[in-house]
Chain A
Amino acid sequence: MSFLDTVRGMKFFDMHVHMTSRTTDDYQAMADAGIVAVIEPAFWLGQPRTGVDSFRDYFASLVGWERFRASQFGIRHYCTIGLNSKEANNEALAEQVMEILPLFIYKEGVVGVGEIGFDDQTPAEEKYYRAQLDLAKEAGLPVQIHTPHRDKKQGTSRSMDIALEHGLDPGMVIVDHNNEETVKEVLDRGFWAGFTIYPFTKMGNERMVEVVKQYGPERIMINSAADWGISDPLALPKTASLMKERGISDETIRLVTFENAVTAFAQSGQISLADFEQPIDIDQSQRYNGSSVLRGGQAPRVDKSSTIIK
């Protein structure tokens, strides 16, 4: 049986996915698999940017074009805006990016400051991580923290220490990319714990099932972090299917794949559970009324198995 059959009727909120790096086929497949909303954290595009205008255009695309593109597939698109840790190391540029962040963090659909935190754990990374925590606090926005691949456990602890030092309520902070080694401390200290199902470098979903069995659903949320690497935008529905097969309750699955993320990011005032009761009618009509993704007159759905293209 296909995982799609197992999860039919469920809805999912992928609270970390980089749709800028994905295709319309992904959007279609995600919508078909029950993904109704996504958060796209601002991140590193695979190579460093050389000027502030590149950041400006990227941020503008997250609140503009990408949001619209998602809506055409019936998917609500939110984002978090921030200077990622890798590019914080270019201090001259980082200063200029910090100057334009206030232009974006109050926009519609911006549900937090993110993804920020440590990559290499350099002094420059720390400096801009701290500055952005202050910005989030001032704006009353949640923070989405990227935890490092290397020296992960200590980097995660340190990220939380600094957030507390800046007076953030742990309930306003989502610590992402957890694993078996970091989760206990994150939950014990009252932070939200994000888990990324991403082959080879982050979590596998069988491990995820065990984590949920051990810790329960409270303050845990799952994402795909799908991007330009070998990753899977259907990680959420696949993991939900596996959890169901392995005896985890529907209610727990709903919390860790949908509701906890809504609850955490609803603190931005830009998103609420009630939003999801409303179909996105306007976007459905836009879908037929013309855009470059689904040009006017073209059937909005194409049969992928057919060799005929009309």
Chain B
Amino acid sequence: MNSPALSDTLLDLIRQQPDAEKAVAYLTQQADAYRNQPTTAVFYRVFTAIPRFVGKQTIRISPEQAQEIQSLRNGFTVEGWSLDRLARVWWLLQLPADDPAVYVSTIENLFKAAEMNELAALYSAIPVLSFPEHWRFQATEGVRSNMSPVQDALMLQNPYPAEQLDEPAWNQLVMKAFFCDKPVEEILGFEKRTNETLARIAVDYAHERRAAGRTIPPQLWTLVKPFVTEANRAELEGLLRTHGAAGAPV
């Protein structure tokens, strides 16, 4: 990962949004001020105030730009974000990482006092923060969140969980996503990181859904498939492949 290059690319993307002059002027001015006087008070104030100055419209991005971002940080995507979220993630990249303790506590304090959209921005930024291994617990807190935009920011189109979460935490993320009706195909690493325990949990979940008379999500099959044996194939296919969302064979 290359933070300065990513920071430049994200700022360019902000610059290319319709009517972005005011947003770019605000952000570059604040970044200059922060470089001259790097106090946490300024850092927090700008992070919170960003929507007032940059707006909240959904960003536009070309396939080339998306590709460029991917080349700087594999799996990282900003598509579908609002402009304030993009600007907040860019702002987080302006925080110096030379003192790990200061860096980490500054960001942890942002998490502690965050409102919903700020949390979504923070969890969206997790894959581009310094000291990636440090944010593992915080990522599990994102899974525990009750607010769907916050859950989405961490769970969907985010490369961090598959890279950093251990197996129990990963399994919890995947099952919570099913439980909350997320589009699980947007979980990066969904197929690759399935495991025997998760397959067992998925089968139990399917049984539980059937017992309750509820629909069984067809994507559970993806989790279970690698662990199907000749002995249980008929039973699992019966359970998972014929009880899709519409009750029709998948």
A interface list, Cβ under 8 A from B = 56, 59-60, 63-65, 67-68, 100, 102-104, 106-109, 269, 286, 288-293, 295-297
Contact = CB atoms under 8 A, between A and B. Distances in A.
Interface string B112-139: 1111111100000000000000000000
A276 to B, nearest CB: 17
Interface residues on B, range: 20 to 34
Contacts of A290: 148, 151, 179-182
B5 to A, nearest CB: 31
A297 B214 contact: yes
A107 B112 CA distance: 13
B48 interface: yes
Given A68-B147, A291-B148, 15 more contacts: A56-B112, A64-B115, A65-B147, A68-B116, A68-B146, A68-B149, A107-B48, A269-B52, A289-B180, A289-B182, A290-B179, A290-B182, A291-B147, A291-B180, A293-B146
A288 B41 CA distance: 38
A286 B148 contact: yes
In the A-B complex, the 7 residue pairs with the closest CB atoms: A290-B180, A296-B181, A63-B115, A290-B181, A68-B147, A103-B113, A292-B146
B241 to A, nearest CB: 20
A81 B115 CA distance: 13
Contacts of A293: 146
B209 to A, nearest CB: 9
Contacts of A100: 113
Interface in B183-237: 214-215
B44 interface: yes
B180 A64 contact: no
Contact of A106 (B49, B147, B148, B149): B49
7 contacts: A56-B113, A68-B146, A68-B149, A291-B180, A293-B146, A296-B182, A297-B181
Contacts, number: 70
A191 to B, nearest CB: 27
Contacts of B52: 269
Contact of A296 (B114, B115, B179): B179
Given A63-B116, A64-B116, A289 B181 contact: yes
B181 A64 contact: no
B153 to A, nearest CB: 13
Contacts of A297: 181, 214-215
B159 interface: no
Contacts of A109: 115
A278 to B, nearest CB: 13
A289 B44 CA distance: 31
A64 B151 CA distance: 13
A153 B148 CA distance: 46
A297 B213 CA distance: 12
Nearest to A293: B146
Contacts of B182: 289-290, 296
Contact of B180 (A59, A108, A295): A295
Contacts of A269: 52
A289 B148 contact: yes
Most buried by A among B118, B146, B148: B148
B161 interface: no
Nearest to A61: B115
B146 to A, nearest CB: 5
A291 B146 CA distance: 6
